[in-house]
């Protein structure tokens, strides 16, 4: 008859599940409905349907289709397609509010950079303070 070794029982205190967590979050404290709404708004199908709806209600899109058809009729379809892409980029460029700075310092008065941006003077100062130069 072979002896089956018994499992050793460690001399340990009973584990308290609540003590394992560094903090305790109650389900009532979470705003799960708002989180689920945000996640649903990021879904591909919802974004695609919003884009499609915006496209079919756009007068510029219909004007582009008519002009593209005319350009293709006169064998200038590829040229007008390139012009259309440039127009779409221009038309979808946002506008800044009064007093708002551009992230590109060349578009600001006096070439003033926005707060938190890195310029060459700041990089040089950091390198010199480390003693690398």
Q: What is the pLDDT of residues 53-80, one digit of tens each?
A: 988 898 988 999 999 999 999 999 999 9
Domain boundaries in the chain? 102-133
Contacts of 46 (CB under 8 A, 6+ apart): 40
Digit-coded pLDDT (tens) for 82-111:
999 998 888 888 787 887 777 777 778 887
pLDDT-wise least confident of 32-46, 51-65, 115-129? 32-46
Q: Tally the C-alpha atoms within 13 A of residue 70's C-alpha that lie toward its C-beta.
A: 5
Query: Would the pLDDT of 7 be above 80?
Result: no
Residues 6+ apart with CB under 8 A from 91: 60
Q: Is the pLDDT of residue 21 over 70?
A: no
**pTM, entire model:** 0.44
Question: What confidence tier does 16 reach under pLDDT thresholds 50, 70, 90?
Answer: low
């Amino acid at each position: 008859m072979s002896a089956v070794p018994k499992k050793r029982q460690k001399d340990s205190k009973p584990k308290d599940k609540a003590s394992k967590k560094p903090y305790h979050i109650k389900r009532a404290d979470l705003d799960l409905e708002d989180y689920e709404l945000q996640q649903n708004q990021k879904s591909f199908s919802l974004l695609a349907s919003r884009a499609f709806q915006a496209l079919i209600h756009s007068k510029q899109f219909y004007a582009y289709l008519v002009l593209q058809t005319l350009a293709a009729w006169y064998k200038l379809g590829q040229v007008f397609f390139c012009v259309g892409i440039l127009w779409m980029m221009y038309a979808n460029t946002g506008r800044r509010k009064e007093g708002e700075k551009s992230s590109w310092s060349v578009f600001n008065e006096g070439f003033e950079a926005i707060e938190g941006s890195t310029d060459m003077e700041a990089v040089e100062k950091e390198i010199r303070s480390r003693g690398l130069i």
